[in-house]
Amino acid sequence: MTDFSKIKGIAFDLDGTLVDSVPDLGAACRATLLEMGLSECSDAQVRNWVGNGTTMLMRRALHNSLGDEPSEIQMQQAMPLFTQHYETCLNQYSQLYPGVADVLPQLHRQGYQLAVVTNKPYKFTMPLLEFFGIAPLFSVVLGGDSLAKMKPDPLPLQHVQQQWQLSSEQLLMVGDSRNDIRAAKAAMLASVGLTYGYNYGEDISLSGPDAVCDHFEQILTLLASK
């Protein structure tokens, strides 16, 4: 079993890890497709399209409706519409996953440094964290557009590591997607894979995280097992 006793900082993914955001992402996708006169999509489909940021999400939604790659003009038409719709419904139906509201403050009290490393654009990330009252717990928040590269590139995790002056043994990545686990491996960090989120319909254990959790609260047990 991986030894988590050296961990001093934890980077959390957002969508599918802290927040179940598909109901609002789905609504924004559907409103965009409707305005473009295209056929709609279901939340079940959107679950499998989340993971590489909202531009890729919209690209996948357009591809599904068009039956082909969207043109750049269609993408340029879609993105401002998506932004407008998602800004309106951002926290309408989205919810923190069970345990998140209790566990994050506990980890903070225990002295862990906490970060959010998401592929969601920063402009949607901060309002969500603020809405759920968890923003003050994080000393670093990186959106998918905060740096030159997003997960699965290791850059955002390396940035967090540098900010906190931690060795690779001291930083842990917690996420629901193969992008999180790949980013962690590329940055030589340990990772925890959560099974309840979004991962292209794929079992997260196939990505080889150091531990797999079905519930957010299990992170406390993992960190306490020395």
Ligand X SMILES: O=C(O)COP(=O)(O)O
- Count the neighbouring beta carbons within 10 Å of the beta carbon of residue 65: 18
Given the complex with ligand X, which of 4 and 12 has the nearer CB atom? Answer: 12
Q: Which of 3, 13, 24, 180 is catalytic?
A: 13
Q: Give contact residues for Mg ion (rule: CB under 5 A).
A: 13, 15-16, 176-177
Calpha distance 21→30 (Å, rounded): 14
**Residue type for 148, please?**
A
CB of 161 or CB of 199, closer to Mg ion: 199
Contact 12, 117 (CB under 8 A): yes
Active site residue 13: yes
Sorted by sequence, the CB contacts under 8 Å of residue 100 that are 6+ apart come out as: 18, 19, 134, 216
State the residues that interact with ligand X by CB under 6 A: 13-16, 50-54, 57, 118-120, 177
- Least spacing, CB of residue 217 vs Mg ion, in Å: 18
Q: In angstroms, what is the minimal distance from the CB of 37 to ligand X?
A: 25
Could you report how far apart the first and last alpha carbons of the chain are, in Å? 10
- Distance of closest approach, residue 69 Cβ to ligand X, in angstroms: 19
- Does 13 carry a binding-site annotation? yes
Work out the number of other CB atoms within 10 angstroms of the CB of residue 86: 24
Please report, for the chain, how many H helices and E strands are present, in that order.
9, 8
**Is 68 annotated for ligand binding?**
no
Does the annotation flag 214 for ligand binding? Answer: no
Is the CB of 50 or the CB of 190 nearer to Mg ion? 50
Q: Are 151 and 142 in contact (CB under 8 A)?
A: no
32 binds, among Mg ion, ligand X, none (CB under 5 to 8 A by kind): none
Residue 52's binding partner among ligand X, Mg ion, none (Cβ under 5 to 8 angstroms by kind) is: ligand X
CB atoms within 10 A of CB 5: 10
Residue closest to Mg ion (Cβ): 16
CA distance linking residue 17 with residue 171, whole number of Å: 17
The entry of ligand X, Mg ion, none that residue 118 binds, CB within 5 to 8 Å by partner kind: ligand X
CB of 14 to ligand X, least distance (A): 3
Annotated binding site: 13, 15, 176
Residues with catalytic annotation? Answer: 13
- Known binding-site residue numbers for Mg(2+): 13, 15, 176
